[in-house]
Amino acid sequence: MLTPCSAPRCEMAAGSRLLLLLLLPWLTAGSHSPPGCKIRITSKGLDLVKHEGLRFVEQELENITVSDLHGKEGQFHYNISQVKVMDLQLPFSNLHFQPQQHLAFNINNASISLRFRRQLLYWFFYDIGSINASADGVHIHTVLQLAKDEVGRLKISNMSCNASIARMHAGFSGTLRKVYEFLSTFIVTGMRFLLSQQICPSLEHASLVLLNSLLDTVPVRNYVDEHIGIDYSLLRDPVVSPETLDLDFKGMFFYRAREEQELENHAVEPVIKETERMVYVAFSEYFFDSAMHAYFQAGVLAIELEGEKVPKDLEVLLRATFFGTIFMLNPAVVDAPLRLVLQVSAPPRCVIKPSGTSISVSAFLNISLVPADRPPVQLSSMAMESKLSAKVYLQGKALRVQLDLRRFRIYSKQSALESLALFSLQAPLKTLLQLTIMPILNERTKKGVQIPLPEGMDFTREVVTNHAGFLTVGADLHFSKGLREVIEKYRSAPAVPAEPTVQPTAASTDSHQL
């Protein structure tokens, strides 16, 4: 039995419900994981997909298998076999976005030309030969539902299809042509029914099996090199509007020895507003930060120069700078080779602004003498702060970065006086970075990382635009391979692992890794 609440308690309960309703939008927003990478396909891109997809549909319909047809009507016996599609005319087709994760594909007023073998018996007359037939007014309406599967890959999860044939004609020849034409209604009606029943199953197989095998070529979780990999899994189902299809990808790099470790995303969520190009790809600061964090975890952001690898002019300058310290050392150590160890001290950070993209790096530089058979003698340990400019560009399907050293500063971790003494090393060390380290970095970054597009589809006419907290790459699409070519390649190829078989490596202790 319910008991009425007192006025104060009722007011408190009502207030709690009101507070919950006010907080609900914020709680929902908090559960929305921002993507590190986002792809938008526009209606212009869909037009290109329609052109290539129409060729694929034609190929599928040409391979329709129609069952043999046989029957009897009075003294007229017939058997129709070896039905083959000879020609298709698909003059009116349309592929468009339909909200709620759908793609709608319509074919109107198409025609299908057929040829089949006839065996006809009318009273005592027996005749065999071939018949040409035409199905006109063919209408096909299909809706494909797109969704994220269990591993985070885009898939066609469902398909609905309706097909109809308005008219069908059969042409007969021979001495019994008039008789055949009179009795052809039975044949034409049966062939029309059988043909219409085969269209949707053929397209369903093409979508749920063949096209999904094409989507299997999209990279989801791949290794970039021996140290890191990238996670391109979808965060949620695609968002479809009448003009666009948006895909939110995780876009997170990971250290291969700790693949399950997650880097929390606090970056700005990319927002794509443009629709002029066929496709737009957006990358947030998190995308680049996670790559540098993964390399930092792998322990490869370091370089060591020793002995003859140290430029001669720099060695002379260093010995002169630390002459007082060296003079006080054991004479057996004075002429020992120099060793420079440059080690990044924290994961570099990326900042994307409308004016450009930059990367901030903090590191320390240890300078030591390394006499033979003796422990190293440290001359100095200095901190380094630098800012690199990053030019991001797309080539094919590979996102690449060109780095350039812009700002550089060193200072002593011991005292301000020593920092002043190190001022003369500023320019030589900057030159060392530009000539020795930047080429190593650019050699690595120019290899790039693949954008999650199916095989056979590439970008052209790319334009990079910077925004506050993210950048976008607008491009047009180009099919370098046909859908059928890619599908046949992967259907005939043996099954391969989703990831390379190279085993993850532990954090490297080799300092020549940068």
281 against 82, higher pLDDT: 281
Q: Can you tell me which residue has the tokens 């250290």?
A: 255
Predicted confidence (pLDDT) per residue in 368-407, tens digit = 888 887 888 888 888 889 999 999 998 888 899 999 999 9
Q: Can you tell me which residue has the tokens 């995303």?
A: 265
The predicted pLDDT at position 176 comes to: 59
Q: How many other CB atoms are there within 10 angstroms of residue 452's CB atom?
A: 22
Q: How many other CB atoms are there within 10 angstroms of residue 77's CB atom?
A: 15
Per-residue pLDDT at 113 exceeds 80: yes
| Closest to 469 (Cα-Cα) out of 385, 386, 349 | 349
**CA 370 from chain center: how many Å?**
48
Q: Are 62 and 189 in contact (CB under 8 A)?
A: no
Q: Are 396 and 453 in contact (CB under 8 A)?
A: no
Query: CA-to-CA distance for 294 and 259, rounded, in angstroms?
Result: 10
Per-residue pLDDT at 30 exceeds 50: no
Query: CA-to-CA distance for 487 and 255, rounded, in angstroms?
Result: 32
Token pair belonging to 319? 């010995």
Neighbouring-strand partners of residue 281: 39, 473
What strands lie across the sheet with 252-255, from one edge to the other? Answer: 221-223, 228-231, 252-255
Per-residue pLDDT at 459 exceeds 70: yes
Predicted confidence (pLDDT) per residue in 336-354, tens digit = 888 889 899 999 999 999 9
**Mean pLDDT, rounded, of the chain:** 82
The predicted pLDDT at position 352 comes to: 96
Rounded average pLDDT over 486-501: 57
The predicted pLDDT at position 163 comes to: 92
Strand 279-284 to 239-240 pairing: unpaired
Q: How far is CA 250 from CA 221, 230, 280, 378, 417, in A?
A: 10, 9, 16, 44, 47
Least confident of 127-131, 243-247, 328-332, 413-417: 413-417
The predicted model scores a pTM of: 0.81
Neighbouring-strand partners of residue 202: none
- Work out the burial of residue 350: count CB atoms within 10 Å of its CB; fewer than 13 is exposed, 13-18 middle, 19 or more buried: buried
**CA 33 from chain center: how many Å?**
18
496 against 187, higher pLDDT: 187
Predicted confidence (pLDDT) per residue in 115-131, tens digit = 887 777 767 677 777 78
| Closest to 265 (Cα-Cα) out of 286, 292, 294 | 286
Query: CA-to-CA distance for 350 and 368, rounded, in angstroms?
Result: 31
The predicted pLDDT at position 426 comes to: 81
Query: CA-to-CA distance for 496 and 492, rounded, in angstroms?
Result: 12
Q: Are 409 and 384 in contact (CB under 8 A)?
A: yes
Predicted confidence (pLDDT) per residue in 138-192, tens digit = 999 999 999 999 999 999 999 999 999 998 887 766 555 666 666 567 677 877 8
| Closest to 261 (Cα-Cα) out of 297, 225, 289 | 297
Q: What does R_g of the chain's alpha carbons equal in angstroms?
A: 35
Token pair belonging to 68? 């043999």
Token pair belonging to 142? 């299909």
Query: CA-to-CA distance for 483 and 56, rounded, in angstroms?
Result: 7
The predicted pLDDT at position 418 comes to: 65
| % the chain with pLDDT above 70 | 83
Give 133-136 contacts, CB < 8 A, sequence gap 24+.
Answer: 133/168, 133/169, 133/170, 133/171, 133/188, 133/191, 134/168, 134/169, 135/111, 135/165, 135/167, 135/168, 135/192, 135/195, 136/111, 136/165, 136/166, 136/167, 136/168, 136/169
Q: Are 397 and 458 in contact (CB under 8 A)?
A: yes
Predicted confidence (pLDDT) per residue in 213-263, tens digit = 989 988 899 899 899 999 999 999 999 999 999 999 999 999 999 988 889
The predicted pLDDT at position 1 comes to: 44
Q: Can you tell me which residue has the tokens 């422990």?
A: 375
- Work out the burial of residue 225: count CB atoms within 10 Å of its CB; fewer than 13 is exposed, 13-18 middle, 19 or more buried: middle
Angle subtended at Cα 177 by Cα 176 and Cα 181, rounded to the nearest 5 degrees:
120
Query: CA-to-CA distance for 222 and 253, rounded, in angstroms?
Result: 10
324 against 288, higher pLDDT: 288
The predicted pLDDT at position 507 comes to: 38
